[in-house]
Structure 1
């Protein structure tokens, strides 16, 4: 009986070891609302951010997986994933990053956007009259553009005169005061139309979005090489996470605070 018990305990521990896997996820040590909340080295125990909640859901749904959250400056995260010191980051797709990151791909080798954690669409935003004139292809317009926003590069209509602002909040303030005609704001999350911008009660979005960006969980080369099936499972769970619902909850709790972007390559919740 004792021998049988010893064998049972050995098999149980051995089986648990087979399923045990840690994943070191690196992200910003400053707040990038609503994706990453709080600052410093600690993960806030309550409302840690939409992207962190998504990863916590992955941890809960995949047996044996433990995610270690590492907070440090973004450039350090990139440095460490290049050297396989951390296992994953959330990042926008940039071709040069394929040298040291693995993004989800289809059987043909193409980037698989269906497995993105977030798909964010930006629309031109202004008064109802502004949107009507755009629909009718009439008029010329002054568009407030925050400095450093890569989305601005996709606004090439000759009817638009771009007016630089220091921040997106400044841009929306100018629109609300009718100093300029429009700006752009987050209007679609994972296929759902949303009004994730200030003054949403009086301003309107021009659909469809003029710009779409995608945030992926990207793995280090070593982690993916050693854990291909687990990586695919993680991508699958993330793709089914109700990101739009959680993202909007954070915005509503923060009174439609403008999503923060950290660099010209970033989506509202990815870098």
Structure 2
């Protein structure tokens, strides 16, 4: 009888423990704050091309991998994903229909979006979600001409500029003849045909250099990168004002992850290491 009583008591303890766990998990879930994250639907290209989109990679799975890891780490937040054209994401952030997007810093966006800021009230690159860099790419002949352009004053090069890219301030001082193309692939094709001297291409994520599996071995990147752009998780003003402590924790958690590694791994799996990493689509 004693043994049976112990068994009954143990079972009762297990039932109580399970009930406590259920109550605890329910309480935690009840306290979780919903974060509506809007990301770009690249299938709706006609709605956003040339509109200043901000997604650094055309493959949305690379971005989702970063956020899914965040979702698993923080019990205080429950992320709901909304996929739509980029301009719709920005419009909904303005009206607080969504709570967050990934975007590069633009002064005009600070009126409706909250960036992670440093003590000097500048965007804090240490808490950026991503850092994407682009390089010039061309043949060995272009490499030699580019390196000696100052000495021999040979600065006239035809640059095949893929849609979505733009030159930074330093590069605009170089007298390039710009030939716009629909994609990186088309730009590289023009180089191979001798129509263009060089183009611009994603070459680095964080400190990790990117090598495309499909890259023509006759064409090589010119390092260091000529452009660098940081992507930030930007909250709507309303969400940030109501959840300042949580927002800071989310920024801190994202910054602590090796996001560059996640991007590279995801793109490698998809075979998309030559996807657009645009400085204008930020």
TM range (shorter): 0.7 to 0.9
Query: Which structure features the higher share of helix residues?
Result: 2
2:113 pairs with one of 72, 80, 101? 101
8 Å CA contact 2:130, 2:230 repeated in 1:
yes
Question: 234-243 vs 82-91, which deviates more?
Answer: 234-243
Instruction: Give CA deviations for 1:186-206 in whole Å, capped at 9, x if unaligned.
Output: 112112222358525332111
Whether 1:237 aligns to 2:253 is yes
Q: Can you give the 5+ residue segments of structure 2 that lack an aligned partner in the other structure? A: 1-11, 46-54
- Aligned alpha-carbon RMSD (Å): 3.2
Quickly say closer, same or farther: Cα 1:19–1:132, change in 2 above 3 A. Answer: farther
Cα deviation for residue 212 of structure 1 reads 1.1
Whether 1:218 aligns to 2:230 is no
Question: 131-140 vs 170-179, which deviates more?
Answer: 131-140
8 Å CA contact 2:138, 2:221 repeated in 1:
yes
Question: 148-157 vs 106-115, which deviates more?
Answer: 148-157
Q: What does residue 27 of structure 1 align with?
A: 39
1:160 pairs with one of 176, 196, 208? 176
Task: Output the TM-score relative to the length of structure 1.
Answer: 0.80
Q: What does residue 263 of structure 2 align with?
A: 247
Quickly say closer, same or farther: Cα 1:200–1:23, change in 2 above 3 A. Answer: farther
Quickly say closer, same or farther: Cα 1:196–1:97, change in 2 above 3 A. Answer: farther
Q: What does residue 122 of structure 2 align with?
A: 110
Distance 1:193 1:8 in 2: 50
Q: What does residue 187 of structure 2 align with?
A: 171
Whether 1:86 aligns to 2:98 is yes
Cα deviation for residue 61 of structure 1 reads 0.9
Cα deviation for residue 156 of structure 1 reads 2.1
8 Å CA contact 1:176, 1:199 repeated in 2:
no
8 Å CA contact 1:25, 1:69 repeated in 2:
yes
8 Å CA contact 1:34, 1:251 repeated in 2:
no
Cα deviation for residue 234 of structure 1 reads 1.3
Cα deviation for residue 124 of structure 1 reads 0.9
1:49 pairs with one of 38, 61, 65? 61
Q: Can you give the 5+ residue segments of structure 1 that lack an aligned partner in the other structure? A: 38-47
Task: Output the TM-score relative to the length of structure 2.
Answer: 0.77
Q: How many residues align?
A: 254
Distance 1:75 1:91 in 2: 12
Quickly say closer, same or farther: Cα 1:35–1:145, change in 2 above 3 A. Answer: closer
Q: What does residue 42 of structure 1 align with?
A: none
8 Å CA contact 1:34, 1:259 repeated in 2:
no
Quickly say closer, same or farther: Cα 1:80–1:159, change in 2 above 3 A. Answer: closer
Cα deviation for residue 232 of structure 1 reads 1.5
Q: Which has the larger radius of gyration?
A: 2
Question: 154-163 vs 60-69, which deviates more?
Answer: 154-163
Distance 1:246 1:255 in 2: 14
Q: What does residue 150 of structure 1 align with?
A: 166
